[in-house]
Structure 1
Amino acid sequence: MDNFEIQRCIELRDFGVPARVQLHHYCDASSAAYGAVSYVRLVNQKGIPHCTFYMGKSRLAPIKPMTIPRLELLAAVVAVRLDSMLRREMRLEIHETIFWTDSMIVLQYINNTSKRFHTFVSNRVAIIHDGSLPSQWRHLDTASNPADDASQGLDAKQMLSCTRWKQGPDFLWRDESTWPTKQNVSSDLLNDDKEVKQVAKTCVVKAEAQGATVEKLLEKYSCWIRLKKAVAWILRFKTWLFDHRRMKTQACLTVHELRRAEQAIIGYLQRLHYGNELHALEDGGRICSKSSIYKLDPIVEDGMLKIGGRLQMAPLNDQAKHPLIVPTGM
């Protein structure tokens, strides 16, 4: 290892003032390790490029077995963090940063806009998005990826003879037109990926069936108090289903629960009989003059129709100030 040398100077004396400075980060992973390596690519006024090894970082794979796509994603995170650190520490003005990976699944994760991932992948993708743009990521073959040396490992003799690790891939020393073609990455291939959250299949109840259920409930109870209590119990059970761990159940119904039940019943009946008027007022419009409640000058409060007009000026409580509108026969 005494013979292993890295050129420390980035700007060569006879190279001239660089017209363009690029950072290139390569990442790769295997079942044993993962890592990333960074190079600075300078292009002078004559268009001649020069590449310099800048920094490399590798880490052993976790003891707990992990899939290769997850390890590749960890390597991509290392590359993004290297870029952030180098941009902060370097005095050169960086014109462009490009990230390279030989994993198509990582590119699909990064370019995804429609799928939701499980926590591990979601958190790493969020880090990558915070430090880079999807358009900065490109694909290359494994044979051209110098980060493969970090994931597979090199012994001392290989490090002395391997020029790819110290100088970067050959295409960096050529014109950009000869670089690997940038591929269009589609997220459609993620449909069967285990890291994608499956959309829960919900049972959709048709409006007609839901209305019929409520109508049966209204027909069953001829007493207003009994109807309110029944609806209050249903609403309490609904609340318990959503948050049963925090909810403290009580033996008797509270006044608040009975008021909620009353509002739920009246709100349903209003939408059943005065649905057009309610929608018109909610959208900021006016109701039709032929409506049966037109003369009441109705307003909408708390999602329910209430009487407006001169009663708004009554110096009474809110309930008397804006009485609820109920259909005939209630």
Structure 2
Amino acid sequence: MEHIPEEDRAVEAASKSLLETDSAEKRVLGILWNVSSDTIGVQVQDMRKPATRRGILSATSSLFDPLGFVAPVLMAPKILLQQLCQLDLGWDDPIPQHLEQKWIEWTQALHHLQDFKIRRCYKPPGFKAITSCQAHYFADASETGYGAVAYLRMTDIEGKTHCSFLAGKARVTPLKTVTIPRLELTAATVAVRLDAQLKRELEVAVDSTTFWTDSSTVLRYIKNRTSRFHTYVANRVQVIQQHSDPGQWRFVDGKSNPADEASRGVSVEKFLHRSRWTSAPEFLWKKEEHWPVDLNLPVQLDQNDAEVKRPAIVSVTSTSEKNPTDRLLLQYSSWYRLKRAVAFFLRLRRLLKAKAERALSALQTRTAAHDGSRSSASSTSANEKKPNKKGTAARADQPTTPALLSVEEIDDAETAVISYVQSQSYKEEISRLRGMQNVKCSSPISRLDPVLDQNVLRVGGRLGRSTQAFESKHPAIMPAKSHVTDLDLLTPNHLLLLRAGPRLPPGAFSDSDNYTRRRWRQVQHLATEFWRRWSQEYLQTLQHRQKWTKEERNLQVGDVGYHRRQERS
């Protein structure tokens, strides 16, 4: 009480001292506060729990340690629980004997933890005005756990130095195997987040912050700004670089790192007598020239590092311009217009081919006549040139071409387009069918039992014996990802069947078909229900009624009526 000014003391405190109470220890937020010595301790409850996962978890959770005063001691039961999880034991199953012996030894030594005391005030008695206040964070990791611890280093005007424990964190490693460099980086992330939390809560102005780690790999990751890391490392490096500066990170050897106790855990006896957890490492009590020398690490990382993303090697092959046929197919967004365009091209090809055949035939005739008689060839050539000048004899033998396309020409164009698209997607299948071989089972269309009909792949199977139309029995096979396939027109058949294809067999369908596993019966029932509602609810609204469009009263007795009698002639 002598440290509290008299004007800030309560009225009751002037007449009654806190030391006059029954007990000098008070419970504050689950921890023990000794008022007489102004120290904080840990309350140890009864640990007589069954040696099961449930009992161990209950006993471990009963120790309330929000600031991590005894975090290294609590690592032993946490590691034990993780081992039990790996054995896939139930909550109330008995644990193996060797693990049970470890649990018994830990619980028997735990009562000594009541002797643990730590000063509540960061500034010791007799400490003069503070000239320097620094925050130091240590991070470390091992195969069993990782953690971080924070200290406040103060220097007064007389040059005296004092280090106080701020907070600590200790966690077990995940069940999934993680490399040591990744765990070291995770511990560094815990230290950075602990720094952000303490700076929000501390009422002391901190002049500088220093982070310590015994992993040179982590230091190189943090100081690197050019390499790209994998997701796990990249996310944690980003957090560290956002909340700290790379110049704040320094190297410390493992023997001088107090966070090593958080990563491996210590016994109660060692924690009370030979621990550096709450007292800070020895070099931190000395001047800065006695601190560990920082490593001069190269910033550039090795490209063979497992966490560094290797640059993707992309091989670009220069190809010529697209096939003219593909350009033609991509030019149209309508299936009908595409067929008309292809039909005109096929007509042009047919005309050019016929013209070339006529020219070849004429050339052969002139060659034969030249071999027989040169004079006869000269007179024949003169007679042929005269009609050409008028432009009538040369076109007399040419067949007249109609301006409009015929149905046969459009059908031929459709067959040509389908055959070309199939040849681009199913080269191997067409080649095997032409060679009188079956399609491989690995082919995506092998289950369709494909057949080749006039250079068009069609669906085979037993439908060939039915009496349906040929297009319904053997529809053409088209690739799913093709521009031509996307040009298929949207018809009522698509809306009713939810796909393009032949009509399903007719039949009687009911509401119970909605719950059957046969999809075609579900679709047919929906189609039947659609047409029923369409004819009953929508079709009638399209009919214009000529009579009784207005509401009128019924005929009553006494109304004058008009009767018209039709006379017979």
What's the TM-score bracket when you normalise by the shorter of the two chains? 0.5 to 0.7
Would you say the 8 A contact 1:111–1:186 is kept in 2? no
**Cα gap change, 1:11 to 1:249, in 2 (>3 Å):** farther
Instruction: Report matched runs for 1:150-161 at 5 Å.
Output: 150-161=262-273
**Cα gap change, 1:156 to 1:227, in 2 (>3 Å):** closer
**Cα gap change, 1:113 to 1:14, in 2 (>3 Å):** same
What amino acid is the match of 1:139?
F
**Cα gap change, 1:229 to 1:161, in 2 (>3 Å):** same
Does residue 339 of structure 2 align to residue 106 of structure 1? no
Cα displacement (A) at 1:106 = 0.8
Give the corresponding residue for 1:132.
Answer: 244
Residue 191 of structure 1 aligns to a residue whose secondary structure is coil
Does residue 172 of structure 2 align to residue 60 of structure 1? yes
What amino acid is the match of 2:233?
V
Give the corresponding residue for 1:27.
Answer: 139
Which segment drifts farther, 7-16 or 119-128?
7-16
**Which residue, 45, 70, 73 being the options, matches 2:157?**
45
Would you say the 8 A contact 1:26–1:36 is kept in 2? yes
Query: Superposition RMSD on alpha carbons, in Å?
Result: 2.4
Would you say the 8 A contact 2:228–2:308 is kept in 1? yes
**Cα gap change, 1:54 to 1:227, in 2 (>3 Å):** closer
Q: TM-score, normalised by structure 2?
A: 0.38
What amino acid is the match of 2:193?
R
Q: TM-score, normalised by structure 1?
A: 0.64
Q: Distance in 1 between matches of 2:290 and 2:297?
A: 20
**Which residue, 119, 127, 136 being the options, matches 1:7?**
119
Does residue 321 of structure 2 align to residue 88 of structure 1? no
Would you say the 8 A contact 1:34–1:61 is kept in 2? yes
| Number of equivalences | 228
**Cα gap change, 1:249 to 1:91, in 2 (>3 Å):** farther
Cα displacement (A) at 1:57 = 0.7
Deviations 1:250-293, CA, capped at 9 Å, x for gaps:
32899xxxxxxxxxxxxxxxxxxxxxxxxxxxxxxxxxxxxxxx
What amino acid is the match of 2:119?
Q
**Which residue, 473, 483, 486 being the options, matches 1:250?**
483
**Seq. identity, %:** 43
Cα displacement (A) at 1:17 = 1.6
Instruction: Report matched runs for 1:1-330 at 5 Å.
Output: 1-203=113-315, 210=318, 214=320, 217=321, 229=328, 250-251=483-484
Residue 206 of structure 2 aligns to a residue whose secondary structure is coil
Would you say the 8 A contact 1:108–1:190 is kept in 2? no
Q: Distance in 2 between matches of 1:227 and 1:52?
A: 77
Would you say the 8 A contact 2:209–2:248 is kept in 1? yes
Structure 1 residue runs of 4+, over 6 Å off? 230-233
Q: Distance in 1 between matches of 2:222 and 2:279?
A: 28
What amino acid is the match of 1:62?
P
Deviations 1:100-136, CA, capped at 9 Å, x for gaps:
0000111111111121111111111111111111111
Cα displacement (A) at 1:188 = 3.4
What amino acid is the match of 2:190?
V
Would you say the 8 A contact 2:227–2:301 is kept in 1? no
Residue 114 of structure 2 aligns to a residue whose secondary structure is coil
Q: Distance in 2 between matches of 1:45 and 1:4?
A: 31
Residue segments in structure 1 that go unaligned for 5+ positions in a row: 234-246, 255-330
- Give the structure, 1 or 2, with the largest relative contact order (CA under 8 Å, sep 6 or more): 1
Cα displacement (A) at 1:173 = 0.6
Q: Distance in 2 between matches of 1:232 and 1:184?
A: 63
Q: Distance in 1 between matches of 2:331 and 2:231?
A: 38
Cα displacement (A) at 1:190 = 3.4
Q: Distance in 1 between matches of 2:484 and 2:296?
A: 62
What amino acid is the match of 2:132?
R
Would you say the 8 A contact 1:34–1:58 is kept in 2? yes
Q: Distance in 2 between matches of 1:35 and 1:58?
A: 4
Richer in strand (by share): 1
What amino acid is the match of 1:111?
K
Q: Distance in 1 between matches of 2:277 and 2:185?
A: 21
**Cα gap change, 1:111 to 1:230, in 2 (>3 Å):** farther
Residue 167 of structure 1 aligns to a residue whose secondary structure is coil
Cα displacement (A) at 1:227 = 9.0
Deviations 1:122-156, CA, capped at 9 Å, x for gaps:
11111111111111110010000000011111111
Would you say the 8 A contact 1:28–1:101 is kept in 2? yes
Cα displacement (A) at 1:184 = 2.6
Cα displacement (A) at 1:46 = 2.4
Give the corresponding residue for 1:309.
Answer: none
Q: Distance in 2 between matches of 1:51 and 1:198?
A: 44
Q: Distance in 2 between matches of 1:78 and 1:253?
A: 54
What amino acid is the match of 1:120?
Y
Q: Distance in 2 between matches of 1:31 and 1:194?
A: 18
Deviations 1:39-81, CA, capped at 9 Å, x for gaps:
0000112222110111111001111111111111111111011
Residue 164 of structure 2 aligns to a residue whose secondary structure is strand
Residue segments in structure 2 that go unaligned for 5+ positions in a row: 1-112, 333-479, 488-569
